[in-house]
Amino acid sequence: MVESENTYDFLFKFLLIGDSSVGKSSIFLRFTDDCFSETFSTTIGVDFKIRTLEVRGGRRVKIQIWDTAGQERFRAITHSYYRNADGIFVVFDVTNTASFENVDSWYQSVTKMAKGAKIVLIGNKNDLTEKRQVQYGTALQYAMGLGVDYIETSAKESYNIHKVFNMLSNALVDEHDSRHEKNGGGASTTESTFVFNSQPVNPQSGGDGKCRPC
């Protein structure tokens, strides 16, 4: 990961959504600050951080990551952040069947409010093997039915956390490249900055930059 870089080739807005306590903030903090806390501290509204990473071809991708509250009472606020998202992680907890069943309604809201966003389904807490309620095959089949990727993670053990962000960034860059090729090429993509749907980045406007105690 490349930190504190002001130059970048792509700017993406990513969102983490899903039921409360599935581990969205834990994935967010594991990726942004490499920390994890066993203590559950529910998200109030939204939080965001910015990170830069390098993808295929040495291109730099700046990501605005929005961690949203899963609790129903914040739904109106969190929905307003769906707009202009480039990528959305719909997260459920593999030890909680209800959180998997609710993926359907999260998916519906995304298709209504974040048209065009690339979606990845995440089954988190895969370290809790003995408590697993949702089988890998079941979730994979469901994701295939929707035409989205499925990946399991563990924020606790830092399993597949960087991979999901890399995967989605690479997929969006590839999508851009193939569109660019179809349109007849032109200037090298590495020399331009492509802001997908994202709004301007203002690091002062959100994210307290603090991590929960690890």
For ligand GTP, the closer of residues 42 and 190 by Cβ is: 42
Residue 127, binding choice from Mg ion, ligand GTP, none, Cβ under 5 to 8 Å by partner class: ligand GTP
Contact 44, 74 (CB under 8 A): yes
Which pair of tokens denotes residue 163?
């991979």
Stretch touching Mg ion by CB under 5 A, among 22-30, 131-139, 174-182, 191-199: 22-30
Other CB atoms closer than 10 Å to residue 181's CB: what's the count? 11
What is the rounded distance in angstroms from the CA atom of residue 204 to the CA atom of residue 80? 19
Residue 20, binding choice from ligand GTP, Mg ion, none, Cβ under 5 to 8 Å by partner class: ligand GTP
Which pair of tokens denotes residue 142?
């469901």
For ligand GTP, the closer of residues 25 and 189 by Cβ is: 25
Q: Minimal distance in Å, beta carbon 169 to ligand GTP? A: 21
Specify the pairing of strand 59-68 against strand 87-93: unpaired
**Residues in touch with ligand GTP (CB under 6 A):** 20-26, 37-38, 40-43, 69-71, 124-125, 127-128, 154-156
Contact 65, 31 (CB under 8 A): yes
**Binding of Mg ion by 198 (CB under 5 A):** no
**Binding of Mg ion by 124 (CB under 5 A):** no
Judged by CB under 5 A, which of 11, 32, 36, 43 binds Mg ion?
43
For ligand GTP, the closer of residues 21 and 197 by Cβ is: 21
For residues 59, 50, 198 and 90, what is the CA-based torsion angle, rounded to 10 degrees? 100
DSSP-assigned letters across all residues of 101-113: HTHHHHHHHHHHH
Q: Minimal distance in Å, beta carbon 211 to ligand GTP? A: 12
Q: Minimal distance in Å, beta carbon 57 to Mg ion? A: 33
For ligand GTP, the closer of residues 9 and 19 by Cβ is: 19
Q: Minimal distance in Å, beta carbon 194 to Mg ion? A: 30
For Mg ion, the closer of residues 43 and 124 by Cβ is: 43
Contact 92, 153 (CB under 8 A): no
DSSP-assigned letters across all residues of 41-85: ----SEEEEEEEEEEGGGEEEEEEEEEE--SGGGHHHHHTT-TT-
Chain residues that interact with Mg ion, rule: CB under 5 A = 24-25, 43
